[in-house]
Chain A
């Protein structure tokens, strides 16, 4: 370990993810941050490495019935079902909004069929965005989404398909609801993925014992938050050992310590999700906290820390 080497306390927080340089390794987990418009009152988007937007499809989606949200101990469940305005309004409104800020734009893409995904990716090839994240891991929609994310062949296939239309680097977002993360990571890498991100939420269920019914209208929902962090760290570690492409780690990161842990496990960058609901300024605080950690232990750059616990 290089501890002690960086004596002048100058740290370089930049990371290079599939050819795109972020000013620091912190982005937002899709679906927890909208397109930044609501959070910009609480967090300075200029301070983030990238903003990852809420998933967008080819047409507007109304999402699932309510209740869509439930709290669980040390986390929460959601079954929003990818409500989104569709790619037209998104391009018109959200991209120009985010471009006001000095941060990279990662657009999360969702779809019900290969054609849906490709339509959005093709449309985005004309737009001023930096990276695409393909959501093949949402547990809350019946068609598409997870259907591509639980079978290695299907995951490789959808990756190949979107790569034919993509002008920006493609991040494939993986589901933890699989038997083997390394197998899924390798499959999308074989399909041409420029990076992988993980983990999406774990499928869960909550029952209201007084009403004797499911809390969520969708019955099941995706569990997120600190409760799932150790699972995410393990899976990021496994994925980082399975593929050569960059790994964006997420899952229950609530503070800088959690983010550093994810980087030490093998993540080149991190996404912060549910913690935004607990503290809308948390992303900025995590950037500062990682910097302090680097100064404390003498790391000059982020890549010196990635995957060093092996």
Chain B
């Protein structure tokens, strides 16, 4: 479903990704671990097409299509979803208005008519329950005045509405207390369909207690230096990253 080959990318002229190879098949969850600055967020930003990142070499194929040739909104409408590490605030734009615009953009992409107001209200109500998001938040401006936990929950809520086929969770666990982490992770699990794939970026094992990865990768200095099963995440939890570095 997603095939990354020899991907190199720069930001501000500095090379961050130095040849990434990664294949994610339908229904698989891959955990991506690594210290700050290893290139985890750069990889997720490159995949969703953030304009600040430049791909200098390599290719990414998504469902047989050249992902890098698509605009960010095309990628989104083709089912690629990023749960942002730091969701941005958009003052004055109500959450429900924003989500309806996004939902209808996807419908338009699929050649469907826009959803009616009534149906959309129902959809919002139904999905809100999954992440236990307060109805007050969906009538407020996008992320404005949301707590850190509310922002993360709001990301998963958006995912629930848009039903993506490929999710990238970029440190969705950071800044969450144990209860919020459980709600977010269980929400994610509930929303996943059998063929939904995901890349889960995290520093810690605790998120992976809820979202079980099929494959775990360790990213150091812009390269994947080790790939293994779920046990690799546990080893890192116990011993940190240094032992891998030392083996390099």
Q: Do A and B originate from a single complex?
A: no
